[in-house]
Structure 1
């Protein structure tokens, strides 16, 4: 266990270090930063490293085996109603548990937190049921994606502009560090029951469909819920003068995030306990291991959320604001791209997805190739988001062509890449995006006098969109490589046949 933890810490350091260096360089060049704010950021980075390592280890030994076990057991009940009911409950519980959703709900005060959270949770629950039925009944993923994204864009035409960006953002934030490991593992478990040639491909795609549900739900909320328009809560930078005050800030805030993570994990643990009592899926040794894993997950997620919310959120807002006021606001685009490129590597759920992909494909799609594709995608999305902040162009001019291209590619790439690509879109837009990139865009938008609700919100949605393109392009490259190898094998077999025939003729 110690060796594995060291590997996880090393992985976390390599993920968090680049963004830390970028912020440090900016603070001594373009955007001088108060010492207290910098101390908050560095302390937050340290908590991120430890928290991400513990969380990653915890999900490997708790969430993943539990999700796979439930996924493998569900179809064996042979009662479709019970399967649907259990899946709906799981979807709602893990969504309410998602910390990213709490952050987004807190930034949209015109809608009560509970109303927004439950709306999104029901949306995810219903689409989680749909995703499970798709896996069991072998329904083509690309067909469902085309139908429901068409409904999303048609429905968005009837919603106030202030709600559109929030709705698309909600699709990204619901697939974060709590949701993704559990949903992906459950998908693997469901696919393992089928055992046919397409089961591996259909193990992906659950996250993709679960990302559509909240978008539709919030769009409907925007039509029927009576408000005076969506507002937002401005980010405040704590006034910290020395290291003692910085430490006090973290100590004061930590209990709130411990409570938040407990509220998130306890319903999942209780559900898993009831599941175990009914089905007796795991033996005593496995349960002990899963229990230890949940402790690691709880500790890691508590430290991670404290680090990003207390240390990273104010710094993201401050940097965006100062860059916009520097007289060189055009720098927001290339710097946003650089930050986005490295920030996605610090998303906990991204590493879960990459390991799952490498395992399912037996190394055919490496973690390195996945991470490079995701980084390029997120860099492009943040660059376009900063362009929106500077120009105020509508989010439709980016999302509509982007999704049309992504859906068009589903007909050209191997099926497994469609599932992986649309899953990766939800995974890339996790807590780092919500607590650093969104405040970064909000700070810049406020400084430039733009409309935060229409110009800054939507960055999460764009981060969720671009990996759909880059991962499917990776699929095209993979397909071309496989075709070349197959052609080489055929040529080699033909040569061997010719040699054999020539030898026979000579005899």
Structure 2
């Protein structure tokens, strides 16, 4: 097996394994599950692990160099109209292929999949333009974030309440494993082409701005689009008796998801080929490597979506409904805390983020400290999400104070921490949040008689909010330590033969 592919599959295994272990323990001690259901879940988890491994390697081989190439070419062109058109088109096309968004779209029954996906794609495209223009015109990130979030919450009060949680969830899932490598590499390409002292700082923050677009787009969709009320019912897991039944169930769904994946990936591949024809950016060996990367991405997406929708997410929904329908429904809160702790701890992208912060702070903030803080923050976010399922608390009671605190903290931390913190929201709300935590909340909400759209959705949004606060708090601590180190100590006075000696002068 390819060494790099093996490494990616191991990363995916470390992400999925804790959830699998928790589900198996719940199945033994709390919610007895049929053998067929367990078999479906384990096979779904296996496809999820292999699919994510292929997908992550493919995105790294294809999307990262494509983003850097497009970013560098945009800066060289110096033509504003071309920059806007290319950034909008690329942001929209990459978003359509985002697997986390496709999983979310399948779970929002009140809006047709294509309507939701296209709306979100337009939002990401528009804000990709805004993010790139910020770098080109040297606008400050904290100022733009304050303006955009203020506008966002003002518009949210005009949109139907049913769209609030879904809109903020869309912002979290859009910055997923497909979109983030491209957008971040786009920023790296732009800042490298700029080659000035602020270039490195400005390479952070693109994901932060792009994640606002989907929220705004779905809210606008709620104002102008009036879907029929959808009924969310318990998930019906097919009865399987033999291993052959399990294989037949998965293989029957593969052509359907293969068709979806090919439809979403062909535009991305087309953009790559057109870009190469026009810019002649990549040599022959790079082209072959990137084409292999696209193939890996397609294979990974097909396996990922099949595993999630057939075996993984349905069991999460089943567990949530079984726990909430019993007298032990509040057990869902500690279960959520446990899952939240391990989800962020095992997320490969989070480990990359932690190394990044350790490097930026020259070891003042270690990766272990970052791991603990992020795990605590995400656990608290998941706990709040589960409490919302049973109490029906409006998501605004959590989101508005949370974002206000995050924006206030931007005034007290170095600019680079602002970019890293707001970029990391999408990193923390990885595939496990969409594929397991959201179905778990939906199942619990359905069983307890709550409103799924307003009470269950919002899990991804709250998980994405936690790093914004936690990382900036770590940045404030780093800033305080740095200032303390730079401030000269008070002069100490010593008396020696009746002469006062200033140690500082000495």
- 1:403 Cα deviation (Å)? 0.6
- 1:345 Cα deviation (Å)? 4.9
The CA distance in 1 between the partners of 2:267 and 2:365, in whole Å, is: 34
- 1:155 Cα deviation (Å)? 1.5
Inter-CA distance 143–312: structure 2 relative to 1 (3 Å threshold): same
Aligned residue for 2:29, secondary structure, equals: coil
Contact 1:107 1:232 in 2 (8 A): no
The CA distance in 2 between the partners of 1:251 and 1:355, in whole Å, is: 40
1:458 aligns with 2:454: no
Aligned residue for 1:139, secondary structure, equals: coil
Post-superposition CA distance 1:258-279 (Å, at most 9, x none): 2232223221111011111111
- 1:104 Cα deviation (Å)? 2.5
Deviates more, 1:427-436 or 1:406-415: 427-436
Post-superposition CA distance 1:34-73 (Å, at most 9, x none): 1111111111222232222222222222221221111111
1:84 aligns with 2:84: yes
- 1:282 Cα deviation (Å)? 1.1
Unpaired stretches in structure 2, ≥5 consecutive residues? 492-501
- 1:374 Cα deviation (Å)? 3.5
The CA distance in 2 between the partners of 1:365 and 1:2, in whole Å, is: 34
- 1:474 Cα deviation (Å)? 2.3
Inter-CA distance 6–229: structure 2 relative to 1 (3 Å threshold): closer
Aligned to 2:207: 207
Aligned residue for 1:267, secondary structure, equals: helix
Deviates more, 1:269-278 or 1:102-111: 102-111
Number of residue pairs matched by the alignment: 496
1:312 aligns with 2:312: yes
RMSD (Å), alpha carbons: 2.7
Aligned residue for 2:393, secondary structure, equals: coil
Contact 1:108 1:231 in 2 (8 A): no
**TM-score, normalising length from structure 2?**
0.90
Contact 1:44 1:308 in 2 (8 A): yes
Contact 1:91 1:121 in 2 (8 A): yes
Inter-CA distance 39–21: structure 2 relative to 1 (3 Å threshold): same
Aligned to 2:26: 26
Aligned residue for 1:330, secondary structure, equals: helix
The CA distance in 2 between the partners of 1:375 and 1:389, in whole Å, is: 21
- 1:435 Cα deviation (Å)? 2.0
1:127 aligns with 2:122: no
Aligned to 1:495: none
Aligned to 2:496: none
1:245 aligns with 2:245: yes
**TM-score, normalising length from structure 1?**
0.90
- 1:188 Cα deviation (Å)? 0.9
1:400 aligns with 2:404: no
Contact 1:162 1:229 in 2 (8 A): no
Deviates more, 1:294-303 or 1:463-472: 294-303
- 1:370 Cα deviation (Å)? 4.9
Contact 1:100 1:173 in 2 (8 A): yes
Deviates more, 1:243-252 or 1:454-463: 243-252
The CA distance in 2 between the partners of 1:219 and 1:15, in whole Å, is: 32
Contact 1:417 1:475 in 2 (8 A): yes
- 1:310 Cα deviation (Å)? 1.9
Aligned residue for 1:28, secondary structure, equals: helix
Post-superposition CA distance 1:236-256 (Å, at most 9, x none): 323223322222222122222
Post-superposition CA distance 1:482-503 (Å, at most 9, x none): 4455569999xxxxxx99997x
Deviates more, 1:428-437 or 1:450-459: 428-437
Contact 2:234 2:321 in 1 (8 A): no
The CA distance in 1 between the partners of 2:386 and 2:430, in whole Å, is: 19
The CA distance in 1 between the partners of 2:218 and 2:443, in whole Å, is: 25
Aligned to 1:440: 440
Contact 1:165 1:458 in 2 (8 A): yes
Contact 2:232 2:446 in 1 (8 A): no
